Structure 1
Amino acid sequence: MVATNWNRSTTLSRFMDGILLLRVPPMRDGALRFRVCDAPGAASSRRRSATEEPFSGASRSAIAEVSTLAGPCPIRQPESVSASSPRRAVFLDLDGTIMTANGAIPLSARRALALAREAGHALILSTGRSAAQVPQEVRDLEFDAVITGSGWRIELPDGQRLHDAQFDPRTVAEIVGMLRATGIRFYFETHHGLVVDNDVRSALQRLFAVVADEAGRAHWEHFFVTGLASAAPDIPDQVTKLVCLAGPEWNPSLPAGVRRLPTSIPQLADHLTELMPDDVHKGAAMQIALDWLGLPRTAAIAVGDGENDIEMLSMAGRGIAMGGANDTVRAAADWVAPAAENHGLWMALRSAHALGSD
């Protein structure tokens, strides 16, 4: 893709972090074509030739990745989806989807959410984090509902709950006994936050030092600050999952109805494993939210990057995997967007025609 000069055949589409998409007239095959240039007021405003590379850093990566994903036509919609489609429900993962691996929310993601809201769509956060681990910065994005614990709880802005459940304490006790007998270190996630003893906290800090850059370490270490110290009860109340310091090669004998998943923390997916019931997942929570909204699954758009997003992606009318997703997650999706730090959420919602009219 190259920079384009302003002329009557181009139409301003959207801004995203200093990048401007210009829609050119449809080709004979009916496909939409987009060219990209710096937005007015971007860091560099000098005139460039049509052959000069206008991008740097994440912007260039975003354009290259989109081009790789979809060839010359990165945004082409099936005829059943149009900018005038009725209200839909947009289900959004947090880590690796709205937030980057370092905990930042790109300006393009904020703009995409605002445009989807202006278009009349319902926005539902669907995260593996507990309710206590969702920062106020995220809640301030004004979601219609928040799904936490990968499906355990669905909360409305006024504090009402559409759904609220927890791990069977007897099953939790059985798992804890097995983990302690085999020497596997672990911590609890509860509706109130994390319960992390000092030994596990130290082990996690050592992991962050190896797998994350400085910004990533600062973000995730802050995430664990809310964990309780070793004086916490033996087994806390309202457990939603157990997170084990073990990688994908760990294959324990688990109680019936319990499954294991890689953690949804991007940098630690090869080092931590989550244990929770088979029938608790984001897809089941999505169905509860859709029933509340009075919408069918075909009206759902789901965006995520982790294995705990698979049910949600496969059940939605439009499932979109983020660029950081592994092959298993991508296989459950209808489309793959760039990574979060490369304007992935903006491109994901644009691909689903969820941003309103151009």
Structure 2
Amino acid sequence: MNVRAIFIDMDGTLLKASNSISSRNKEAIYKLVNQGVKVFLATGRHYDITVPYHKEIGLQTPIICLNGAAIHDAETGSIIRMKTVRLNEERFHNLTAERPCNVIIHTANGIYYKETNREIDYWAKVGQIPPVYIGDLRQAKYQDVLKYSVRTGGPCPELSSLFKKEAEVIDWNDGFELVAPNVSKWFAIKSLLTEFRMSPSEVVAIGDGPNDIEMLRHAGTGVAMGNASEKVKSSANFVTGHHENDGLAEFIERNLLKSSKSYAI
């Protein structure tokens, strides 16, 4: 199989829990790029907290952010494609206000938070851009929403299901996210495949989360991390090692590098 591109998730895939990229993962990516394979990042993160890692690896490809709701130009950072989500704002804020949770609103112009925490402070440090707003989001003036994130501290399908008529819902162990209907990482990948004149059969996608399922199912080769849930693993063609044990590099070394003995894929 001729692999021309690989789309890599970040948290739980490229990154360790420490938010760092291992030297082994970097080396595997460098070798792929030198072989002529295009390497893309496809993440649920906002651009500002993605681009430092994109630069660290030295990638020059467009960046898929916010679960596919935005694609950013590698050189300028400008949004080259985006799909906004429209909710009944009054209903959304009333429903989320009834439960103890944090609400994060990702827009084309920055991030708005109900409240801050250690993780959010870290994001601001990494992205070197402070939040646009922290406080009662009913008082905030925002537009061009790309993703809503509701952090409840645990699964909350009874709440997330209330938005399925308005948005694409992604359930997590600590809450849920909302993007525009039919938006996913695969939605964004398809547009890039058209631009680069590639077919899905020439693509590898690798990830660990529920927001990776669509790209794992539809890419020519879908790879789930060892730390992924069984639902994610069942959506993939391959399961590689844990992200703390460089499962990304393990798959690349075994299957994609021309200088290595490879399995047939």
Q: Distance in 1 between matches of 2:79 and 2:106?
A: 19
1:324 aligns with 2:231: no
- Other structure's SS at 1:273 match: strand
Q: 1:258 aligns with which of 167, 185, 190?
A: 167
Contact 1:131 1:192 in 2 (8 A): no
Q: Distance in 2 between matches of 1:150 and 1:319?
A: 17
Q: Which residue of 2 aligns with 1:97?
A: 13
Q: Distance in 1 between matches of 2:72 and 2:232?
A: 26
Q: Deviations over 1:129-161 (max 9, x none)?
A: 111221423333214110011111112223365
Contact 2:200 2:218 in 1 (8 A): yes
Q: Counterparts of 1:3-82 in structure 2 under 5 Å?
A: 81=1
Q: 1:283 aligns with which of 186, 204, 217?
A: 186
Contact 1:306 1:325 in 2 (8 A): yes
Q: 1:136 aligns with which of 52, 56, 72?
A: 52
Shift of 1:279: 0.7
With over 3 angstroms needed to count, the CA separation of the structure-2 counterparts of 1:120 and 1:275, relative to structure 1, is: same
Q: Which residue of 2 aligns with 1:187?
A: 104
Contact 1:186 1:245 in 2 (8 A): yes
Shift of 1:113: 0.8
Q: Distance in 2 between matches of 1:349 and 1:186?
A: 37
Q: Which residue of 1 aligns with 2:259?
A: 357
Q: Which residue of 2 aligns with 1:73?
A: none
Q: Scaled by the length of structure 1, what TM-score is found?
A: 0.63
Contact 2:156 2:175 in 1 (8 A): no
Q: Which residue of 2 aligns with 1:314?
A: 217
Contact 2:69 2:180 in 1 (8 A): no
Q: Distance in 2 between matches of 1:277 and 1:184?
A: 22
Q: 1:238 aligns with which of 136, 144, 149?
A: 144
1:337 aligns with 2:240: yes
Q: Deviations over 1:206-264 (max 9, x none)?
A: xxxxxxxxxxx6xx64115633322875252222222223221441222514243244x
Q: 1:196 aligns with which of 98, 105, 113?
A: 113
With over 3 angstroms needed to count, the CA separation of the structure-2 counterparts of 1:273 and 1:235, relative to structure 1, is: farther
Shift of 1:176: 2.5
Q: Which residue of 1 aligns with 2:39?
A: 123
Q: Counterparts of 1:185-224 in structure 2 under 5 Å?
A: 185-197=102-114, 200-201=115-116, 204-205=117-118, 221-223=121-123
Shift of 1:330: 0.5
Q: Distance in 2 between matches of 1:176 and 1:255?
A: 16
Q: Which residue of 2 aligns with 1:111?
A: 27
Contact 1:133 1:193 in 2 (8 A): no
One-letter code of the match for 2:229? N
1:271 aligns with 2:174: yes
Contact 2:41 2:54 in 1 (8 A): no
Shift of 1:181: 5.1
Q: 1:155 aligns with which of 72, 80, 86?
A: 72
Q: Which residue of 1 aligns with 2:263?
A: none
With over 3 angstroms needed to count, the CA separation of the structure-2 counterparts of 1:156 and 1:259, relative to structure 1, is: closer
In terms of Rg, which structure is larger?
Answer: 1
Shift of 1:110: 0.4
One-letter code of the match for 1:251? E
Q: Distance in 2 between matches of 1:105 and 1:298?
A: 28
Q: Distance in 2 between matches of 1:284 and 1:329?
A: 18
Q: Deviations over 1:151-196 (max 9, x none)?
A: 111122233654123222x544542243235665422122344312
Over the aligned positions, Cα root-mean-square deviation in angstroms equals 2.4
